Every structure is written in C-alpha cells, then in structure tokens.
C-alpha cells in the first residue's frame, strides 16, 4: 500500500462551498481514501475561529459587507483572520491515526511545511511562541487554524503570496496586537504568483509528513463532480 498525497485544486471558491466540500472529503478520508490536500483561494472573507473575541473585529459586520467582505463563523481553532484572492489556502484532510495522534505535533508540522516553503524562496521564517503560525521578523506571513474529528483533520493554512494586505488592517489578525502581516511578494520585493508558490508548498508537505509523492490529482469546482487531470 502506497502513501501518496492526493491533491485537489479548486481555484477560487466561496468559503461556505469550500467548507461543505471539506466535509465531503473528510468523510472519504475517514472511510479510507488517501490523505488529501485541497488547494484553493477564497473571495474576500473574514473567518472567525473557536477562540474568536469580538473586539478583534474593528468594524460591524454590515461595514464589512459594504466593503465586499463576508464574515463567516467557523469551528477551526484560533481567532479572526482574512482570506482573499492571491492567498494560497490549503486544507489538509489527513488521517492523523496514520501519522501521529497528537494535534500539537500536527500544528508544528504545518508550521514546518510553511517555514520550508518560505525557505525555498530564500526567506528565513520562524515560529513565534506561544502563537500558532509562521512569521518573518515581526510580521505574520501564514495563519493556521485546524479542527480534527475522529483524528481526521480539517481547515488548515493560509499563506500570503500575492494577495492585497490592506484588508488585514480592518481586524486584529489572529487576535495578536501590535504586529503586522506580510507576503512572499512583499518580502521578495517582486511579484510572486500562486503558480510559483504552489509546487514549493506541495513539496514541503510531502517532506514534512512523509509522503512518497503525489498520487492522482483532481481538479474542479466544489459544486461540480471532480474530474481527473490529464
């Protein structure tokens, strides 16, 4: 039996549709499907984690709506964060019983995958205990928020690649006062595309979580049947 990572690329998908799709893949992995990494982007949305504090929203929900930003409560860990086009979101739906049944180990693994991704661009990223996530200097480049049911993970990571960083000024990102955010494009002072970042992120997941490589990949919209890529 091989241990290959299944990839699903969805493109730009509204948050609630992606959440329903995660539930579908969670059920598949729980029933024996391969560990799956869903790669996608979201239209502008603020997600509120299980540890959300209302004061970390600097405006009322109607104000965000007028700016074209959805506000979505979630069951993932963490506080509030922003997702938007140009940000690489990845939802690992992994059966941790096949790896290690330890959420702290899993979180550190997600951080390591992000640190290695930044390292592939020549950037020195770091952890910033006790906060979860990945930082370059005093600016956060990637947020992490997870949930696990029956030791199968959901939700995941958001790596700032080429996204607009201004919306982060409308919240207290992850509830952490006094620190900024950054992106690969910002740090490298050149445009970094999602197409450039994605293979580096995938390779980091393979190395950190011990996969033998990538199995058959799928592509499609969350609302449509998925088709195998040629």
132 with 155: CB under 8 angstroms? Answer: no
Q: Please confirm, yes or no, whether 174 is among the known catalytic residues.
A: yes
φ, ψ (nearest 5 deg) of residue 142: -150, 135
Find the catalytic residue in 93, 136, 174, 222: 174
150 class by beta-carbon count within 10 Å (0-12 exposed, 13-18 middle, 19+ buried):
exposed
Q: Are strands 45-48 and 80-83 parallel, antiparallel or unpaired?
A: antiparallel
The answer to whether the Cα torsion of 161, 162, 163, 166 is positive or negative is: positive
3-state helix, strand and coil shares in percent for the chain, rounded to the nearest 5: 30, 30, 35
Q: How far apart are CA 150 and CA 101, in angstroms?
A: 10
* Burial (CB count <10 Å: 0-12, 13-18, 19+), residue 2: exposed
Separation of alpha carbons 20 and 212, rounded Å = 28
Show the tokens assigned to 23.
């539930």
What positions carry a catalytic annotation?
A: 174
């Amino acid at each position: 039996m091989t241990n290959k990572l299944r990839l699903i690329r969805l493109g730009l998908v509204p948050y609630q549709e992606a959440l329903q799709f995660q539930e579908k893949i969670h059920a598949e992995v729980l029933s024996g499907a391969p560990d799956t990494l869903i790669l996608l982007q979201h239209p502008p949305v603020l997600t509120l984690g299980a540890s959300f504090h209302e004061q970390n929203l600097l405006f009322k929900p109607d104000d965000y709506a007028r700016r074209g930003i959805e506000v979505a409560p979630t069951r993932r860990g963490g506080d509030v964060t922003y997702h938007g086009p140009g940000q690489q979101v990845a939802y690992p739906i992994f059966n941790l019983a096949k790896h290690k049944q330890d959420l702290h180990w899993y979180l550190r693994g997600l951080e390591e995958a992000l640190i290695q991704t930044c390292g592939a661009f020549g950037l020195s990223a770091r952890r910033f205990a006790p906060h979860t996530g990945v930082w370059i200097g005093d600016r956060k480049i990637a947020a992490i928020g997870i949930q696990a049911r029956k030791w199968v993970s959901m939700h995941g990571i958001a790596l700032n690649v080429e996204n607009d960083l201004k919306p982060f000024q409308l919240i207290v990102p992850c509830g952490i006062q006094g620190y900024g955010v950054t992106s690969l494009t910002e740090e490298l002072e050149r445009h970094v595309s999602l197409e450039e970042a994605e293979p580096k992120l995938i390779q980091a997941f393979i190395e950190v979580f011990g996969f033998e490589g990538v199995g058959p990949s799928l592509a499609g919209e969350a609302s449509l049947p998925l088709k195998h890529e040629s």
